[in-house]
Amino acid sequence: MTDQRVVQFAQILVDYSTRVKEGDVVLISAAGFEAMPLVKELYALCLQRGAAYVEYSFSVPEIDRNFYNNASDQQLGYFPQHKLDFYKTVTVYIGISAGNNSMVMANARQEAMVAYQKITKPLVDQRVKHTRWVVTRFPTNAAAQEARMSLDEYEDYLFSACCIDWNEESRKQDKLKKLIDETNHVRIVAPDTDLSFSIAGLPGIKCDGRFNMPDGEVFTAPVKDSVQGHITYNCPSIYQGKEFNSVRFEFKDGKIVDASAGGDMTAMLNQILDTDEGARYIGEFSLGINPGIRQPMRNILFDEKIFGSIHFTPGEAYDECDNGNRSAVHWDLVRILSDGEIWFDDVLIQKNGFFVHNELLELNPE
């Protein structure tokens, strides 16, 4: 029997997030076979909405791991032009992660992963810049275990964060976007965190269910060379198959001049930040505001939307809010501010994880 929450979820992804219409070429890309129930619903809906062509694919992370560990330099350097040619015809992309092991890449060859990430960046750029796209997760036992929940609890958590009135959430986000647009200077203060930077001239961008699901953030970017101070992140982060905790950055004139993550992970952290010049500069500053996401799940698609959090992201800036930073890295690292403050132009807007500015009170969870 079909779970009606899956049906509702598919309808949101097709009709709200990507707005599938007659004549579209749709690619549904799932990592993990457990996403089958959602892929089935999406495929049927896209056909019903009149898409000219719908392609679906399943990838297996364990096979990808074999590639990174065994590929020669020539194989790592081969660019899949046939994929790019097809991507240039795609108008809608729906990506689903349903892996059964978040740590599958933990011992894969790091240098191979970085090299292939650089080679295939044009595929990501084509998808992000030229399609109506959305990426999401499908509940699995493995993801539930990562979140320290039962599968039933995880399903309830995921669907409650995704299956909400996104038109209403979008309306609420307008006020935060407006305030960001009017702000020049930001300061973030919390234990072992004191950041100061400019966002003058850089717009606020609403994330209201169009590209990520779950969604729920409003982001901008710092002026590239304006970041001063330090930050200690307090959410675990899985990146390139490894878990990082208590990541700490010190900034001078926008650049990360010191980075630590404790023990052996500090060397790995700095290796990622040395991917290219832009990896040591910040490409995004965002406030998480999804009212249904309140705790870390070791899954960045959720964790970056935690209500009362920020993420301060080393690497590539988005085109929608471009501070000029370019990198193969875009690493959303999260700081929950249940013990902190956010100031816009010397006005306190959030304290201990809740908005205190009169214009933003409506955003607080009921």
Q: Where are the domains of the chain?
A: 4-162, 166-363
User: What average pLDDT score do residues 67-90 get?
Assistant: 95
Mean pLDDT for all residues in the chain: 94
The yes-or-no verdict on residue 347 having pLDDT over 80 is yes
The yes-or-no verdict on residue 21 having pLDDT over 90 is yes
The yes-or-no verdict on residue 289 having pLDDT over 70 is yes
pLDDT interval class at 122 (50, 70, 90): very high
pLDDT interval class at 126 (50, 70, 90): very high
Structure tokens that stand for 238 in this block: 């899985």
**148 touches 107 (CB < 8 A):** no
Structure tokens that stand for 164 in this block: 């909400």
The per-residue pLDDT for 61 is 85
- At 82, which helix (H) or strand (E)? helix 81-87
The yes-or-no verdict on residue 1 having pLDDT over 70 is no
Look up tokens 């097709």; give the residue. Answer: 14
pLDDT interval class at 262 (50, 70, 90): confident
The per-residue pLDDT for 241 is 78
pLDDT interval class at 54 (50, 70, 90): very high
* CA 129 to centroid of chain Cα atoms: 16
**326 touches 339 (CB < 8 A):** no
- What number does CATH give the domain 4-162? 3.40.1830.10
Angle between helices 36-48 and 4-11 (to 10 degrees): 50
Q: Please, is 230 exposed, middle or buried when counting C-beta atoms within 10 Å of its C-beta (0-12, 13-18, 19+)?
A: middle
Cα(220)–Cα(317) distance, integer angstroms: 9
The reported pTM is: 0.79
